[in-house]
Copies of this chain bind each other. A is one copy, B any other.
Amino acid sequence: MKTRDIAEAARRASRSLAGLDRTTKDSILASIAEALENNRDVIFKANREDLAQAEKDNLETPLLKRLGFQEDKLAEVVEGLKALTSLEDPVGRQLDATELDEGLELYKVSCPIGVIGMIFESRPDALVQIAGLSLKSGNAVVLKGGSEASRTNRALFTVISQAAEQAGAPQGWIGLLETRDQITDLLGMDDLIDLLIPRGSNEFVRYIMENSHIPVMGHADGICHIYVHHDADVDQAVKIILDSKTQYVAVCNALETLLVHRDIAPQLLPVLAQALDQAKVEIRGDSNVRHTIPTAKAAVDQDWSTEYLDYILAIKTVDSLDQAIDHINTYGSGHTDAILTQDAQASKRFFAQVDSSSVLWNCSTRFADGFRYGLGAEVGISTGKLHARGPVGLQGLMTYKWQLYGQGQIVGDYSGGGKTYTHRPIEHQKPF
Please list the residues of chain A having a beta carbon within 8 angstroms of any beta carbon in chain B: 14-16, 18-19, 98, 100, 104, 106, 111, 113-114, 194-195, 209-210, 213, 215, 233, 236, 239-240, 242-244, 247, 325, 329, 344, 347-349, 351-353, 355-364, 366-368, 372-374, 384-387, 389-391, 399-412, 414-415, 421, 423, 431-432
Contacts and interface: CB of A to CB of B under 8 A. Distances in A.
A412 B365 CA distance: 11
A402 B358 contact: yes
Given A210-B213, A353-B19, A373-B98, A390 B409 contact: no
Given A100-B374, A364-B406, 11 more contacts: A14-B355, A15-B329, A100-B373, A106-B373, A195-B385, A215-B384, A239-B410, A359-B401, A364-B412, A366-B410, A372-B421
Contact of A359 (B100, B104, B361, B404): B404
Contacts of A372: 100, 411, 414, 421
Contacts of A412: 243, 247, 364
A363 B404 contact: yes
Contact of A409 (B357, B363, B421): B363
7 contacts: A244-B410, A247-B411, A344-B432, A358-B402, A360-B404, A361-B405, A364-B406
Nearest to A423: B374
A113 B401 contact: no
A347 B386 contact: no
A386 B399 contact: yes
Contacts of A361: 403-406
A135 to B, nearest CB: 16
A259 to B, nearest CB: 16
Contact of A402 (B348, B364, B373): B373
B215 A215 contact: yes
A100 B386 contact: no
A404 B368 contact: yes
A279 to B, nearest CB: 12
B247 A363 contact: no
Contacts of A344: 431-432
Contacts of A14: 355
Nearest to A396: B386
Nearest to A21: B352
A421 to B, nearest CB: 7
B385 A399 contact: yes
Contacts of A400: 389
Given A247-B412, A361-B406, A367-B409, A401 B100 contact: no
Contact of A18 (B210, B233, B355, B408): B355
A239 B325 CA distance: 59
B385 A113 contact: yes
Contacts of A19: 349, 352-353
Contacts of A247: 410-412, 415
A218 to B, nearest CB: 13
B106 A374 contact: yes
Contacts of A421: 372, 374
A351 B353 CA distance: 41
Given A106-B373, A353-B18, A194 B385 contact: yes
A149 B356 CA distance: 37
